[in-house]
Structure 1
Amino acid sequence: MRKKRKPEGHGFNVWRSYSDMMAGVLLLFVLIMCVTLFQAQKSYQDSLKERDEKIALQEKYTEELLEKQNALDEQAGTLKSQDEQIKSKDKQIKSQDKELSSLAEKLVKQQETLEAQQKKLKEQQKKLSSQKKKLSSQQDTLKEQQSALDEKTELLEEQQEKIDKIIGVKAEVVEALQKEFEKKNLNVDIDPQTGALTLNANVMFDYDQAELTDSGKMTLSMVLPTYCKVLLDDSYKKYLGEIIIDGYTDTDGDYSYNLELSQKRSLAVAQYLLDIKSDFLKDSQVQELKDCLTVNGHSMSDPVLDAEGNVDKEASRRVEVKFRLKDEEMIQELNKIMQGDSAESDSTAQKKEKDQKENQDNKQ
């Protein structure tokens, strides 16, 4: 057993002081350690918190980066698609450039064509202006011609009654001649339109002769008085202009010789008519016959043709007795005027049609 020391009463204890001091130091050390541990714990917690915050922030940044990466990928895909579209459009643009270039060339050609057409149009407009002036002049001329035509129409209307009357008189004379010959049972060749009486020269004359035969004189003695009495009747003599005796030969021989022969034969018929005039005419009618009697020779002109178009020599040798009314010349003249007006109207119409056609061509 350890023996206890006896306390020293009032003596200084070094070891106790040292122990207290060491206890105080230890306590201080413990406090310092506690404070240090507390601070370290706090620092550690702060570090963990900061680490967690950093990790969270890093995760957030990572997510944002992933989102941005996805967005960038999408943008890259979009850009790639756009790049492909741009390349396609670039090809299209190049193709369009070629087309535009071709169109530009065509446009230049069309412009040149248009300029040429405009130039041609200006020329045509000048020509059309000239034609309009010409047409205006033609219209003035046409008005003048229309005025002249109106005057001629009035004149024709005035003469129409006379023409109708003359035509009616001629028809009456021809009808009266036909009835008179039928009444006397005389078979004669008389034209129903003109009243011309045809006498066969073979009956009245020997071949190549100009003296009347007995049979010829007998024929004339029956035919001529009837023909002349009708014409010199009071109903018709005021309209009578001429009694004409025309002689014709066939186409054989010389024209001059045949002309003389035809004249002699027509003259022989006229002379025989004058020889027998007193047998059927009054004294007052004899002078009227002499005043209107005309004799002509026509040689071989106006031959008679058969059905096949060949010359009928026997029928061509003839003497014709015909008449002309006083106003027949007027009718013939009016016919000429009407034919001339008709030809002029046709010419004017053709000219007008031609001008219209030219105007249409110029407009085209």
Structure 2
Amino acid sequence: MQRHDTNSGMANSLTDLMTSLAVIFVLLLCASMHNVRQEGETSRNAVLSAVHRELNDFLTQGIQVSQDPKDALSILILVPENLLAFQFDKADIPQGGMSFLKSFIPRLSGILCSDQFSQEINSVVVEGHTDSSGSPGHNCELSQRRSMSVVRASLDILDGDGMVTERERFLKLLSATGRGSAEPIMGLKGAEDMALSRRVVFKIKVRSIEQRPLNDALGVRTG
């Protein structure tokens, strides 16, 4: 009987020990994840501040720079349709849109591809968006072609300006996608704002702390 009580006591003690260790592990994991998120957000905020400063004179033209409410490590730069001057149902960038990009892209790439920030940036996705008029399939295809036009024009501009290093770094970061009318911008009264919904968004993704050692170990450079 005494041996049974001793064994039972040892089992309970072992259970308590394992429970305590599990609690400690969970607390350490939570603290580590919090630190990782804070470091990533610190990098994002540094890039966001630099982008705001460099693009400040574009803000009066309708450019919007903000953090992504859906992703703590992403920055959104919204370019309204009127600045790119796409013609109705067309994906070619007319002269007015090219004039804007010729002043905008060197400034943006100068920040993201600088020695200060190039290793902080994981990707730059150019997203094309339309309003909800037209079929979803057509809108998706049109927005994809427009985003690809912006990517091609951006690289051509850097090449033409002799910004070889920036072009090489920007090329590694850039991709294009068409979102169609999947993410309309709603007005104050709850109805879609058709004009604002027609836009191009530069989505800048900052590297997470986990990606940095992994990319370095694999010899992958994202900037």
Q: TM class by shorter-chain length?
A: 0.7 to 0.9
- CA distance in 2: counterparts of 1:190 and 1:219, whole angstroms: 15
Q: 1:144 to 1:182 in 2, by over 3 A?
A: same
Q: Report how far residue 220 of structure 1 moved.
A: 1.2
| Corresponding residue pairs, total | 191
Give the whole-Å Cα distance in 2 for the aligned partners of 1:273 and 1:154: 45
Q: For 1:277 and 1:177, locate their aligned partners in 2 and report how far apart those are by CA, in whole Å.
A: 18
Match of 1:199 among 71, 79, 104: 79
- The letter for the 1-side match of 2:194 is K
Letter of the aligned partner of 2:90 in structure 1? Q
* CA–CA separation in structure 1 for the residues paired with 2:80 and 2:27: 44
1:231 maps to which residue? 112
- Match in the other structure for 1:321: 202
SS in 1 for 2:153: helix
| Cα RMSD (Å) | 2.8
Change (3 A) 1:295 1:281: farther
Deviations 1:119-172 (A, max 9, x none): xxxxxxxxxxxxxxxxxxxxx999978754542431332343332222112111
- Aligned counterpart, 1:208: 89
Structure 1 residues 299-334: Cα deviation after superposition (integer angstroms, max 9, x where no partner): 11010000001011111111001200111887xxxx
Higher strand residue share = 2
**Residue 183 (structure 2) pairs with residue 309 (structure 1):** no
> Which of 36, 43, 46 is matched with 1:169 structurally?
43
- Correspondence for 1:50: none
> Which structure carries more helix by proportion?
1
Relative to 1, partners in 2 of residues 1:154 and 1:221: Cα closer, same or farther, differing over 3 Å? Answer: same
- TM-score of the superposed pair, with normalisation by structure 2: 0.75
Secondary structure of the structure 1 residue equivalent to 2:128:
strand
CA displacement, residues 48-75 of structure 1 (integer Å, 9 cap, x when unaligned): xxxxxxxxxxxxxxxxxxxxxxxxxxxx
Instruction: Give the distance between the partners of 1:142 and 1:220, measured in 2 at CA.
Output: 64
- Runs (5+) with no aligned partner, structure 1: 1-139, 331-364
Q: Of 284, 287, 294, which residue of structure 1 is paired with 2:168? A: 287
Does residue 178 of structure 1 match 2:52?
yes
Taking a change above 3 Å as real, the CA distance of residues 329 and 273 of structure 1, as seen in their structure-2 partners, is: farther
The structural deviation recorded for 1:209 is: 0.9
Percent identity reads: 22
Higher relative contact order (CA 8 A, sep 6+): 2
Could you say which structure has the larger radius of gyration? 1
